[in-house]
Amino acid sequence: MSQQLSEQEIIRREKLDALKAAGIEPYPAALYPVNSYSTDIKNGFTEEQKDAYANVCVAGRIMSINDKGKVFFIKIQDSKGIIQLYVRRDDLYPGEDKNEWEVLVKRGLDLGDYIGVTGFVFVTKTGETSIHAQSLTLLAKSLKPLPVVKRDEEGNVFDEVTDPEFKYRQRYADLVVNPDVKEVFLKRTKLVNTIREFLNEQGAIEVDTPVLQAIPGGAAARPFITHHNALDVPMYMRIANELYLKRLIVGGFDWVYEFSRNFRNEGMDRTHNPEFTVLEWYTAYKDYFWMMEITEQLFERIAIALHGTTEVKLGDKIINYKAPFKRISIFDAIKENTGIDISEMDEAGLRDVCKQLHIDVAPSMGKGKLIDEIFGSTSEHTFIQPTFIIDYPVEMSPLTKKHRSKPGLVERFELMVNGKELANAYTELNDPIDQRQRFEDQVKLMQRGDDEAMFIDYDFLRALEYGMPPTSGIGIGIDRLCMFMMNQVSIQDVLFFPMMRPEKFDE
């Protein structure tokens, strides 16, 4: 099937043919010696230091063209910003032959083309720092027009392209026409680097663990299933890396962490994507009280690194990440919001409460899932400022150590911010006999129809039988943390390429 081209796309291909016919290579392979960048030039240039800017070489994408006949004013966008080029015919082609000026500059250039320019920096009569071009090279011809975005003389953007279908599916074009989008991802990198610096300073070691797993362990979630042809066995995409990191604690590491790409075969919404990034770390000889304190320190440091303050704007709210954070048990949180004390209730009592509160629950749900539904429906959304929800019932936490002083509970916390979970942490269960029983209880839930119940990982049980020291661990959702730290309303806005339904093409 032939490719369906728009009128503009046809015209650009005709220009491409004309360039080739004139001996101008539209996609040259040679090295282009860039030595300067737009923002650095505009911030650093002065008349007193103009000699240092007498031979700059820049490259970027054409964002505007102003044809004045024998002079062109062209604005290009490089990786740091936008700068104006002053392009004069007699400077580029001082001899008699002006054919290349006509073919390349006059008729061959389009918005979106990549060009390279050498020249010297000066300030125009209107006060704009610009580059007086002495050579111009076409580096890549653009065959598809970019969406039109208006900018004023100061570079402010008007009529920004906001269509989600375009933004998320064609992120490569979105990054070009919406400069604020790029800033989000630069801040994401800064956030991740801040975490790495913090953990490395503490003596933690970054590691890698398998993405393809024979047992999808470490979380209650529905996995993606694939097949290993050579071994002829089913495999699962990682839903969590927890059990592998704990194996390393068994092996003698005191503190390990990983930025884990996880996959969960579940729904998508503004705060969930089936493929996502989680930071998990595990530290020997620590407990969840220590983990709360170190987590407060980390979040405070991230906020200051990104914003210079612990107060971060999120929608119409200001979230303050200044330590210490509030702490409240899950039962007290539910009682505070419903007036109902569920701490001593069995499964039948919890189902009655769900009915009373008009919470839909499935027959397959056990006690832990019912409590989770009650908390999620009545209480979770009320915790806007950073709050540790602590001391969960044992049924909700198959991998967590039983509470040292509160029977029926475990030493676990979830960090809530803006009504959503940002982190989940435990004093880790290191009793292999207790862990085996918890896994077996999960199998019973699976037999009742709970497709998120955990599998039994016999190798992990074997590892625990060798002995794992007292350990605390945490998982932090990096994508959601980026949303909250960068004032973004959707997880798709902090992912370069979020999951979307496959696109249908004409050919």
- Residue numbering of the annotated binding site for Mg(2+): 414, 421
Query: In this structure, are residues 479 and 494 in contact, taking their beta carbons and an 8 Å threshold?
Result: yes
Dihedral sign of CA atoms 164, 169, 171, 176 in order: negative
Which SS3 state, helix, strand or coil, does residue 301 take?
Answer: helix
Tell me, what amino acid is at 205?
A: I
What string of H, E and C letters represents the secondary structure of 49-108? HHHHHCCEEEEEEEEEEEECCCEEEEEEECCCCEEEEEEEHHHHCCCCCCHHHHHHHHCC
User: What is the Cα–Cα distance from 75 to 281, expressed in whole angstroms?
Assistant: 47
Residue 327 is encoded by which pair of tokens?
């702490």
How many other C-beta atoms can be found within 10 angstroms of the C-beta atom of residue 351?
17
Q: Which amino acid is at 418?
A: N
Please say whether the beta carbons of 317 and 384 come within 8 A.
yes
In contact, 252 and 246? CB cutoff 8 Å: no
What whole-number distance in Å separates Cα of residue 443 and Cα of residue 224? 19
CA separation for the pair 478, 463 (Å, rounded): 29
* CB of 223 closer than 8 Å to CB of 263: yes
CB 137 within 8 A of CB 32: yes
d(CA 266, CA 62): 42
d(C-alpha 479, C-alpha 483), whole Å: 6
Polymer length of the chain: 507
What is the chain's alpha carbon radius of gyration, rounded to the nearest angstrom? 29
Q: Pick out the residues of the known binding site.
A: 414, 421
154: its two tokens: 């100061």
Amino acid at 131: I
Q: Angle between the 432-447 and 458-466 helix axes, to the nearest 10 degrees?
A: 170
Q: Judging by beta carbons within 10 Å of its beta carbon (0-12, 13-18, 19+), is residue 293 exposed, middle or buried?
A: middle
Whether residue 324 is preceded by a cis peptide bond, meaning omega within 30 degrees of 0, is yes
Tokens of 121: 């920096």
Q: Which of 493, 422, 387, 414 is nearest to 278 (CA)?
A: 422
